[in-house]
A and B are shown apart, each in its own frame.
Chain A
Amino acid sequence: GAVVSQHPSRVICKSGTSVKIECRSLDFQATTMFWYRQFPKQSLMLMATSNEGSKATYEQGVEKDKFLINHASLTLSTLTVTSAHPEDSSFYICSARDEGRAIAVGWQYFGPGTRLTVL
């Protein structure tokens, strides 16, 4: 099946630094990728839709200047948490839509997630 990777799987950083998380579709092209955030014992909340070659679409309440998304190729999207603070500590999950499958399904494949801890 389709595989999506994320790197790093875990990251610990100091408050005020920036952290970049990569999301790659390994065996398919993905013009659309999604970034989710999940706090402990809570559900996945969509942060933004990443579109290859264009600007990301952010969900209401998500600071676009804080969470920078770049989707420079059909297999890679990056999320950069700028000037991270302890409240940004969370589990970040990406997913990629495989246009090769039936369009009506809108199938997404999920990465394994990145656990960010900001000290």
Chain B
Amino acid sequence: AQKITQTQPGMFVQEKEAVTLDCTYDTSDPSYGLFWYKQPSSGEMIFLIYQGSYDQQNATEGRYSLNFQKARKSANLVISASQLGDSAMYFCAMRATSGTYKYIFGTGTRLKVLA
């Protein structure tokens, strides 16, 4: 069975500091994709970053980077230079078996950026 685990229900970070949000996954599928989404209080799901299982390099998108450690089955999100607007819920997700393309979501981490 495929599973996503986010062990940090809540995190605090000082403005302008970097923060790492943890995500581990479990799958037997050799091909998979990992996603991070931000969900502010409005509820919309905002795509942040994507990592494919065969990608050789860690993904980066502006202030977001994904620390992909395939052997450890982890895909941690690193946010650099945190901003007050980064306060939100963050979800790690995995694309399930290729035939269905379903997403499996973790339980989420609520990040609060402090001024």
CB <8 Å contact, A106 and B43? no
Give min CB distance, B112 to chain A, whole Å: 14
> By the criterion of a CB under 8 Å from any partner CB, how many residues of chain A are at the interface?
21
Give min CB distance, A37 to chain B, whole Å: 12
CB <8 Å contact, A105 and B52? yes
Q: CB within 8 A of A108: which of B52, B103, B106, B108? A: B103
Is B105 interfacial (CB 8 A cutoff)? yes
Q: A43-B105, A104-B98, A105-B50 are in contact. Are A110 and B31 (CB under 8 A)?
A: no
Q: CB within 8 A of A44: which of B42, B52, B91? A: B91
CB <8 Å contact, A110 and B33? no
- The residues of B that contact A91 with a CB separation of less than 8 Å are 43
Is A67 interfacial (CB 8 A cutoff)? no
Give min CB distance, A9 to chain B, whole Å: 9
Give min CB distance, A91 to chain B, whole Å: 6
Give the residues from 19 to 69 in chain A that come closer than 8 angstroms, CB to CB, to chain B.
32, 34, 38, 42-46, 49
Q: For chain B, what secondary structure do more than half of its interface residues adopt (helix, strand, loop), or is it mixed?
A: loop
Is A8 interfacial (CB 8 A cutoff)? no
CB <8 Å contact, A105 and B102? no
CB <8 Å contact, A43 and B43? no
Give min CB distance, A90 to chain B, whole Å: 11
Give the residues from 21 to 71 in chain B that come closer than 8 angstroms, CB to CB, to chain A.
31, 33, 37, 42-45, 47, 50, 52
Report B's interface with A, CB cutoff 8 A.
31, 33, 37, 42-45, 47, 50, 52, 91, 95, 98, 100-108
| Interchain residue pairs with CB less than 8 A apart (19) | A42-B107, A42-B108, A43-B91, A43-B108, A44-B105, A49-B102, A91-B43, A104-B31, A104-B33, A105-B52, A105-B95, A106-B95, A108-B101, A110-B44, A110-B45, A112-B43, A113-B43, A113-B44, A113-B45
Report A's interface with B, CB cutoff 8 A.
32, 34, 38, 42-46, 49, 91, 93, 95, 97, 104-106, 108, 110, 112-113, 115
